[in-house]
Amino acid sequence: MVEQITGKEGWLNSRPEGAVTVHFERKYHTNIHTLWHLITDPKALDRWSPNFKFQAKLGGEYHLWFEDAPSGPPHIQGNIEAFQAPNLLQLGSIVFRLEATDTGCRLAFSDTLVFRPSMSKLEVALAVLAGWHRYLDLLEQALTDELVEHNIAEPDYSASSFQGRHLVS
C-alpha cells in the first residue's frame, strides 16, 4: 500500500534543461532572522546540519559533508552563488529561500539531483528526499533550546506517493 507522508513532504519537478529538483516548503513559528541565523551561523549550523562549513558571504567558499551518503558525493564544495540576508542562500544546487509570514517564516528549499550510473534515478531521488526531510526536521528542532536529536529516522519515501515521482520511476 502506498501512503502519503503528510505535512512536511518533499516533491520533485523537472526543469527546462531536463534536471530534476527536490523541493520542500516548511513553515516555522519563528521570525525570519532567527531562521536565517540557524542556517548561516557556524555554531548554529553545528546543531542541526549535515556538516555545512562556509564563509557567510557572496562568493565565499562552502563545504558540505554528508554523514551516510549512498546516493551522492560524501563531500561537495564550491562558492556561494547567492547570499542575500535574510532571504536567500545558494550553495551550488542547494537553495534556501526565506520569507517572513504573519505567523513566522516560510522556507522554500530545493536541491537539484545529480544522478549516478551506479544507482537508479528513483533510488537517488528517494535518498535525497529522505535525507533533506530529516535535516529540515532537525532544523525545526534547533529552533528550541533543547538538545537536537540527530538519530531521528528518515521517512520512507519508497512507500509513499509524492508529487513528481513519475519523473524518476
> Is residue 15 domain-resident?
no
pLDDT of 145 above 60: yes
- By three-state DSSP, how is residue 81 classified? strand
Q: Is pLDDT above 80 for 2?
A: no
Show the cell assigned to 29.
513559528
pLDDT per position as a tens digit, 33-60: 999 999 999 889 988 987 888 889 999 9
Residue 16 is assigned to a structural domain of this protein? no
Q: Quickly state the pLDDT bin for 108 (edges 50, 70, 90).
A: very high
Residue 17 lies in a domain: no
Instruction: Quote the CA–CA distance of 22 and 94 in Å, as a whole number.
Output: 10
Rounded to an integer, the average pLDDT of 70-81 is: 76
Residue 111 in any domain: the answer is yes
Pairing, β 104-112 against β 88-91: unpaired
Cα–Cα distance for residue pair 116/168, rounded to 1 Å: 13
- Structural domain of 131: 22-167
